[in-house]
Amino acid sequence: MNPVIVALDISLLKALDLVKMLREKVAGFKIGWELIFEGGISIVSEISRYGNVIVDLKVADVPHIANRVINKVIEKGACCAIVHGFLYPSLPRGENIYVLAKMTAPTLYDEVWERIIENVGEIRGFVLPGNQPEFISRARKILGCKYRIISPGIGAQGGQPGNALRAGADFEIVGRYVVENPDRVAEWTGLRPACFNTP
């Protein structure tokens, strides 16, 4: 198993082929709006048969509504779901929740991401930019091994495979770079999560 989560930003048919091909080789799959619109919510259960599923709807609502949405996808078999960190301090909390704290592209998160991660409370972990490993190192120093770090931005967005893991991430999230050529997962051979073995 390579410490990679494949972002399935592709058609349903292509996604099903890919998860069958990669099920033994990667740590999990990330599903977003596009696949859920195409396959319906049952696609979460379908893909969960092949591996851990992170549902990325980048939820941003008051905690009681956010928690209701997240519970729907957890009931369908997802391990976890991603919410926007700008909700801080009024974040939904829970062991299934990843908080997006800084993006791969410039945003207002750049000014506040450390405040978001420093006092977040009980959540599963953070989404932090894998194309900027220096911030992953900084985050891991602040967090220790209390939270998972998962990191997009590898390949198509400029991050080098493995650099975020070496800086302290647990898993790298990769879409186009692996979708275009699934053999590329071999580039993660021998790399390990910094702290947690499951996404």
Q: Which residues are catalytic?
A: 56, 58, 61
The secondary structure element, H or E, covering residue 94 is strand 94-100
Residue number with the smallest Cβ distance to ligand 3DU: 175
Q: Cβ 149 to ligand 3DU, closest distance in Å? A: 13
Please name the residues in contact with 24: beta carbons below 8 A apart, sequence gap of 6 or more.
1
Task: Based on the shown chain and the rule CB under 6 A, indicate whether residue 156 belongs to the binding site for ligand 3DU.
Answer: yes
Task: Based on the shown chain and the rule CB under 6 A, indicate whether residue 137 belongs to the binding site for ligand 3DU.
Answer: no
Build a one-symbol-per-residue string for 29-58: x at contacts with ligand 3DU by CB under 6 A, - elsewhere: -x-x--------------------------
Query: Taking a C-beta distance cutoff of 8 angstroms, is the pair 167, 197 a contact?
Result: no
- Tell me the three state secondary structure of residue 54: strand
Q: Tell me which residues in 75-134 interact with ligand 3DU (CB under 6 A).
A: 100, 103-104, 127, 129
The answer to whether the annotation marks 183 as part of a ligand binding site is no
φ, ψ for residue 186 (rounded to 5)? -60, -20
Question: In the 8-state DSSP scheme, what is residue 39?
Answer: H
The answer to whether the annotation marks 146 as part of a ligand binding site is no
Count H helices and E strands in the chain, helices first: 8, 8
- Residue closer to ligand 3DU by CB (options 18, 64) is 18
Query: Taking a C-beta distance cutoff of 8 angstroms, is the pair 92, 188 a contact?
Result: no
Q: Cβ 68 to ligand 3DU, closest distance in Å? A: 22
Instruction: Copy the structure tokens of residue 160.
Output: 């080098």
> Residues in the site for ligand 3DU, rule: CB under 6 A?
7, 9, 30, 32, 100, 103-104, 127, 129, 152-153, 155-157, 173-177
Annotated binding site for substrate: 9, 30
